Amino acid sequence: MKSVSVSAPGKFVVLGEHAVVYGKPAIALAMDMRFSMRAHPSNEFRINGAPANQYNMSPHMKYLSEMHGNRPMTVFIDGRVPSGSGLGSSAALSAAYAAAVRALNHLPTDKASLAKDAFEAEYAAQGRGSPMDTSASVQGGGIALNVPYKKEDFLWHIDKGDRSWDISKIDVPKMTFVIGNTGIRAPTGPLVEKVRKYKDTNTFARSIVDEIGDVTLEGLKAIESNDKVKLGELMTYGHKLLSILGVSCPQLNKLVKASQPYSYGAKLTGSGGGGCMIALTDKPEKVAEAITLHGGTPYIVNTGVPGVTVKV
Ligand code: PMV
């Protein structure tokens, strides 16, 4: 094979982050910020014109190459998903790179195989996480984890140790979300670890994790019935629950509060500690303005976008 072009989107979490790590339900939507990659076999690993090293080749990419024979390739990466912001940047990179490595090694590039490879790479790089981000990026559109689903909506099953996830696709009616980036970079691993410690030593924290799961199931019903008012309420409540778990921060709270007058609801999205929040709204420009006024960077995002694409 001469070369392959692949791409994969970032995502945001509507409800269920952190609790999904423990097998609770979650809902995530792919969005229109993505990585594109062109790759071809070569004599040494090169990324964007430079020899691969620990700065330009992420541990995820290294893991995926090693997983499938470690054959050197030249890769050009384009596009952008802001990193350390809760938008699934490393998952999108892993999903796209998994597709490139598989295609160049003449291996199947079906979505279930890509989702599993990308999850293993994330897991190796970041430790105890869920397959939510990687599955959302591979599949595109909307996905849910560990919710009741119709047979035809089932996508794949992933397990790790004593935890397991059934991933299914969901139909999401047209809804407008605005993302607000605090600009504070907060890597996922330490935040997941913080919640794990809290949950392992505190019954109240365990009850909050359970409640996030229940709120997510209610949220799915609100999506299915296109009830934006209800979904917004649940999102705002979800933010409170995540704050109790200790993963919000003053700047996230500020952007959530600033968005509320123009939104059905708002919450942090992803691992928190910084990174981004989302607001569900019919007044995206107003929300974007409020986010800017309070020191954040707004993105009015489109959902319903394709997952991984592979062109050989
Ligand atoms: O911040 P992100 O984009 O890496 O999202 C992390 C979501 C968590 O639920 C906190 C962790 C996970 O692996 O599911």
For residues 216 and 151, is the Cβ–Cβ distance under 8 A? no
Strands 154-160, 142-145: pairing is: unpaired
For the chain, the structural domain boundaries read 4-171, 176-302
Task: Please state the atom number of ligand 1 nearest to the C-alpha of residue 11.
Answer: 3
Kindly state the tokens that stand for 140: 């595109």
> Where does ligand 1 bind, in terms of residues with CB under 6 Å?
17-18, 20-21, 86-88, 129-130, 132-133, 188, 192, 270-271
pLDDT tens digits, 113-141 = 999 999 999 999 887 789 999 999 999 99
Distance 312 CA to ligand 1 centre (A): 31
Closest CA to 27 of 125, 148, 111, 180: 148
What does the DSSP assignment read for 59-82? HHHHHHHHHTT---EEEEEEE---
Closest protein CA for atom 5 of ligand 1: 270
Domain 4-171 class, CATH top level: alpha beta
pLDDT tens digits, 136-151 = 999 999 999 999 999 9
Residue ranges in the chain modelled with pLDDT below 50: none
Kindly state the tokens that stand for 33: 């910020």
First to last CA, the chain: 8
Distance 5 CA to ligand 1 centre (A): 27
pTM value?
A: 0.96
CATH of 176-302, one of 3.40.718.10, 3.40.50.880, 3.30.70.890, 3.30.980.10: 3.30.70.890
Closest CA to 33 of 137, 157, 165: 137
pLDDT tens digits, 180-223 = 999 999 988 899 999 999 999 999 999 999 999 999 999 999 99
Between CA 175 and CA 202 the distance in angstroms is 37
With b for 16 or more beta-carbon neighbours within 10 A and e for fewer, the 204-213 pattern comes to ebeebbebbb
| Same-fold call for 4-171 versus 176-302 | no
